Amino acid sequence: MSAGATDPARREPLALEVPGYQTGKRQTRWADGKRRKIEDVLAVLFEELELQAGQAAQRKIDEQQAEDERRQQWQAAMAKAREAATLAFYIKTLEKQHKQWREAERLREYLAAVDARVAQAVADEDPGVKKAQEWMIFVKAYIMTLDPLSGLPTMPDPPALTNDDLKPFLGRWSPYGPG
């Protein structure tokens, strides 16, 4: 170090800056000036640093609380979406069974008409009776597979829902997370 480097009259002006804390109108830069030196404002500078650090810590707490609240809202939305999607599945199953039952009832009417016609054909000794009876056996078997009341209807198992299944029930939320 040369003698000129330690001479107070020849030193460069000092400046301190805290760029990470630029929030609003808070001071973030201090420098030597004509009327005062940084050394004269160190107490103010440290108070400001503490204040800004406290504000930054509070912002982090507030951000974490907001994130936690958002996650809770998303989880509640996901639970409601699962309920709504499961209900929609049950309703769709009910409507499908009702449609199958109505179709089975319609086919039973047809089968009764065929049965009456076959009875007439038997009386008339029609040679097509055997084929008509085979057809009736097929129709009866088909009705049994179609009609949900062939057995005792039970509550369906809840569906295994995917994220895509939940999308229509989530509104503004994504099924992939609260982000």
Report the C-alpha gap between 117 and 129 in whole angstroms.
9
The average confidence (pLDDT) of the chain is: 88
| Angstrom distance (rounded) from CA 88 to CA 165 | 10
* Per-residue pLDDT at 27 exceeds 70: yes
| Structure confidence at residue 140 as a pLDDT band (50, 70, 90) | very high
Query: In this prediction, what percent of the chain has a pLDDT beyond 70?
Result: 91
Q: What are phi and psi of 176, to 5 degrees?
A: -95, -5
Contacting residues for 175 by C-beta, under 8 A, at least 6 apart: 78, 81, 163, 164, 166, 167
Q: Residue 151 corresponds to which tokens in the numbers above? A: 């057995």
Q: Given pLDDT bands bounded at 50, 70 and 90, which one contains residue 8?
A: low
The pLDDT of residue 21: 57
Is the predicted pLDDT of residue 4 greater than 60, yes or no? no
- Give 145-173 pLDDT, tens digit per residue: 999 999 999 999 999 999 999 999 999 99
pLDDT mean over 57-86: 96
Contact 135, 46 (CB under 8 A): no
For residue range 96-125, what is the model confidence (pLDDT) as tens digits? Answer: 999 999 999 999 999 999 999 999 999 989
Closest of 85, 83, 72 to residue 166, by C-alpha: 85
Q: Which pLDDT band, with edges at 50, 70 and 90, does 23 fall under?
A: low
* pLDDT for residue 3 is more than 50: no
Q: Where are the alpha helices (DSSP H) in the chain?
A: 3-6, 42-123, 129-146, 163-166
Largest CA-CA distance found in the chain, in angstroms, rounded: 136
